[in-house]
Amino acid sequence: MAATKHNQSMISYLSHGEEIPFGTNKTYLKIRESILSHCAFVCSGAPSEDHFFQALAGVENKIQKMAKSLVSMAKFVSRVGSNVQNSAFVAVTNSTQTRNYASQKRIKVANPVVELDGDEMTRIIWEKIKERLIFPYVDVECKYYDLGLPYRDQTNDQVTIDSAEAIKKYNVGIKCATITPDEQRVEEFKLKKMWLSPNGTIRNILGGTVFREPIICKTIPRLVPGWTQAIVIGRHAFGDQYKATDYVVKEEGTLELAFYPSSGGQPVKMPVFTFKKGGGVGMAMYNTDESITGFAHSCFQYALMKGWPLYMSTKNTILKKYDGRFKDIFEEIYQAKYKPEFEKKKIWYEHRLIDDMVAQCLKSSGGFVWACKNYDGDVQSDIVAQGYGSLGLMTSVLVCPDGKTIEAEAAHGTVTRHYREHQKGNPTSTNPIASIYAWTKGLEHRGKLDGNVELQKFAQKMEKACVDCVDSGKMTKDLAGCIYGLKNVKPNQYLNTMDFLDAIAEQYDRA
C-alpha cells in the first residue's frame, strides 16, 4: 500500500520531538519510537487489509497511551508550577524588602511583622503600597504568608492556620483582603472544597475583638452630618450565628436542646418548639465565658487607649440568659478592674439595649466605642462606615485579649470588578487607603511594642498624608463619587490607582 500524504505528515510530525510538548522526555521518546514503527509499517504497505487495520489500531493505541502520559506529565508540571508560583510570590516580596533604598535613611525595626497576602485587585495594590509607601521608609522584616485563594487550596488551608500561629508568635499581623469562596468561586478556581473565611479562621485562633474605625476626611460628605468624631465599632469575633448549627425541619415533630455534662451528670433537655402543619427551621448557637471575658477586656482597654466612653449593646430583655450573660460579665469586669481608670480619664461604661443604642448613635456626634455582639457588629460596622461616606475609608484591627497581639486589615473586599479591568490591561481607580492603613496600624503597634517612637511617627505621618491628599482634591473615583455623585464624575476629578499612590508619597515627602 502506498503511503498517503496524511500518513507521511504523521511520520514527519512524530519524527520531530521539539514540535510536541515534553519532546525530550524519555517516556515520550520511547512511545514515539514505538508509534513510528507502526506508522512505517502502515505507510510502506501491508500484506493484507487486515494487517493494515491491525497496524492502524496499534497506532491509535499508542497515541492514546502517549496522550495519557502527557496528561500525567501536565498535571505534575501544573503542581510544580503552583509551587514555583508561590515561591515566586515570596521571592518578589523578599526582593521588594531587600531592594537597595540607599538613597534615603530608613527606619530600623527590631522585630518582624507577619504579612498575609491576599487576592485580586487588593493583591496588586498591596505590592505597590509596599514598593512605594512602606519599604522606601521602613526597614522591617516581614514573615510572609500567601493567603491568596489558589495557595490556600493547595495547602488545604493550612497556610491560614500557620499565619495565625505566626501572629501569636510575633504579635503583629498585617493582612491584605482575601476571597471567601462561594459556589461560584469554587467553580472559577476549581477548588477542592468551599474553604472557610480566612478572617474567621484567624479570629477563632486568636480570639479578641475586631475594632473598626472610620477615616475622616473633611472633603468627603457624611450621610450623617452630625458625626463630627469617629465611632469605633468593637465586634466580638467569636461564636453566635457564625458558629451556629441550623436545621431545616421537613415534617411535624418536636425540636429539643440538650446538654450532656462531661462529668456524667444528668442531661439537661429543653423543649424548643413543636412543629405542626408542616416543617420550618431551627438553630442552636453558643458562646463561652472565656471568649466573652476576652471581648470585655479588649473593649475596656481600647476605650482607655482612645480616651472615649464605652457602650455595650445587647437584647437582654428578650434573650435574658444568653445576652444577659454578656451584660453580667461586662459589668463584673468593669467594676472589678476598669472603673477607677475610666473615672480618672473622665469617661464611662454603660450597657444599653441594641435598639436604643442604634437611635442614640444616630443622634450623637460620635466620639465613643460601641461594643457589639458578633452579628450586631457585622451589621453596624457597615452602617457606620457608610454613614461617614465610604466603606473604602474604614480601618479594621483585631485586638487580642492580651492587649499585645493585633492583626490589621482592610475592611473591604478584593475589588473583583476592578481586577477584571486590570486583567484586560485597563487602568483602574481603586481606593488603596484602607490597605495603607492596615500597614500603618500594624507598624504603629509594632513601634509601641518595641518602644520605637520613630516608627510610630512614620505611621501617623503616612496616615495624615493619605487624608491630606484627599482633602487637597487628589483622590480615587469612588471618593470623587461621594462628592459629585458617581454619574457626574469627570476624568479630571480623580486619579488612577498608581497615580494616587504617587500623590500620597509626594504628600508624605513634602510634610
- All residues at 6 or more sequence positions from 118 whose CB lies less than 8 Å from its CB, including other chains: 126, 147, 148, 175, 176, 177, 178, 179, 414
Query: Rounded to 5 degrees, what are φ and ψ at 320?
Result: -60, -35
d(CA 141, CA 394): 26
d(CA 331, CA 349): 9
d(CA 446, CA 407): 11
* Secondary-structure percent of the chain, ordered helix, strand, coil, rounded to 5: 55, 15, 30
| Contact (CB, 8 A) for 215 and 466 | yes
The three cell numbers of residue 69 are 502520559
The three cell numbers of residue 176 are 491584605
The three cell numbers of residue 242 are 457564625
Residue 157: name the closest of 109, 205, 219 by CA.
205
Binding site for NADP(+), by residue number, is 178-180, 185, 363, 413-418, 431
Q: To which residue does cell 467553580 refer?
A: 187
Residue 397: CB atoms within 10 Å: 24
Binding site for D-threo-isocitrate, by residue number, is 180, 197-203, 212, 235
Residue 419: CB atoms within 10 Å: 19
Q: Which amino acid is at 49?
A: E
| Contact (CB, 8 A) for 254 and 275 | yes
Q: Which run of H or of E encompasses 214? A: strand 209-214
The three cell numbers of residue 217 are 476626611
Handedness of CA 23, 26, 27, 29 (dihedral sign): positive
Binding site, by residue number, is 178-180, 185, 197-203, 212, 235, 355, 363, 378, 413-418, 431
d(CA 369, CA 374): 15
Binding site for Mn(2+), by residue number, is 355, 378
d(CA 167, CA 257): 37
Tell me which DSSP letter residue 511 carries: -
Alpha carbon distances (Å) from 354 to 85, 368, 370: 48, 15, 10
Residue 227: CB atoms within 10 Å: 21
